[in-house]
Amino acid sequence: MPPKKVILAKEKDENTKKSPLTVVSRWFKNLLLKVSSQDQLIFVKNLSIMVKAGLPVLDSLKMIQKEAKSRALKKILANVVDDVSNGQYLSTSFDKYRSIFGDLFINILAVGESSGILSENLLYLAEELKKRSELRRKIIGALVYPAVILFATFGITGLLMIFIFPKILPIFKTLNVTLPITTRILISVSNILTEQGPAAVLVVAVFVVIMWLLLKIQKIRYWYHFLLLRAPIFGKMFRNASLTNINRTLGITLKSGVKIVEAVSITAQTLSNLVYQKNLLEVVEKIKRGETISGYLYPHTFLFPPMMAQMVSVGENTGNLSETLLYLSEFYEAELGDLTKNLSNVLEPVLMVVMGVMVGFVAISIITPIYEVTSTFGGR
């Protein structure tokens, strides 16, 4: 076969512009296909072991397809096997499913094929997929506790106002006293929930849909991501998660043989946070003008801590940038792990205050009118 031309992230956009109908058709075909990160990890790991053992890529793909549990992966591998049987490169075939596997997956395959180190690059990719999965679990695990507490608090309060409070309401109406403001507020909210329940649910649903649509607008999503990074308590956690992904992805792409400009571009495309994505794309332009990565990082201390800029500078000067970046990814991942472990300790007092305020508000709203009536009768 002739030397393979590596199709990197920047070329993807050019190809998209040349054949829009093909891209749209491919998007619709991939819409119902979904391969979990765990299935991707198992596939990449098995393929790496088989290729390293000396099995031809085609035979390896057939064996993995036969054993695959995911229907979507089976269907994709069936098409990939046909393409490879007809002489296509593995990365070229998987490029049809770029929306499923991502830029990093496709480009690391392409570089591995072109440089003859496919098994090694697959191992790098497997490690990246594993680390990303672990990082996602850490973040989700940290957010579950406060989400459950808040859901339980608002849920119990809502049940009280819908099912319990309306039964007490007639008693308050018979009392010949002026109800306190807290009780009147509680009565109004209870009436809305009981009498206008479907309308209230519809309003909430419309609000959620509007917010979802607004976040599809890139500028609004950018500022939403910016506010997330600035958020108290959670902001540092989101920054460390982004820094972990940036350093690991960039380190692995460089280690797998991708050139620096393409590596930074690929890393930017894999990020979900638009603030960091925008900054990395600016880094790409700086590198093209002959500047260093660390030179860009130094002034942006909020997004990129001074330690990262210093370490990247050392890596650039010593020619060992990929290892430096991988060390930084481990450092920020460990720091993120500490943050997630301590999150429950930090949030617990705040959540207790929120619960106390809500329960106290309901209790005062119910008890105060009763106390006023008993005081009136006691005075008589």
DSSP string, 25-64: HHHHHHHT----HHHHHHHHHHHHHHHHTT--HHHHHHHH
Q: Which residues contact 50 (CB under 8 A, 6 or more apart)?
A: 59, 60, 63, 64
Average pLDDT rounded to a whole number, residues 138-156: 80
Segments making up each domain of the chain, as ranges:
9-101, 127-380
Tens of pLDDT, residue by residue over 29-47, are 555 578 888 888 899 999 9
Q: Matching CATH topology for 9-101 and 127-380? A: yes
What is the predicted pLDDT for the residue at 83? Answer: 92
Name the pTM for this structure.
0.71
What is the predicted pLDDT for the residue at 15? Answer: 44
Structure tokens, 129: 């997929």
Q: Which CATH number fits domain 127-380: 3.30.70.1050, 1.20.81.30, 1.10.3720.10, 3.60.150.10?
A: 1.20.81.30
Q: What is the Cα–Cα distance from 182 to 168, expressed in whole angstroms?
A: 15
Q: What is the Cα–Cα distance from 285 to 85, expressed in whole angstroms?
A: 40
Of all residues in the chain, the percent with pLDDT exceeding 90 is: 30
What is the predicted pLDDT for the residue at 20? Answer: 54
- Architecture of the domain defined by 9-101: Up-down Bundle (1.20)
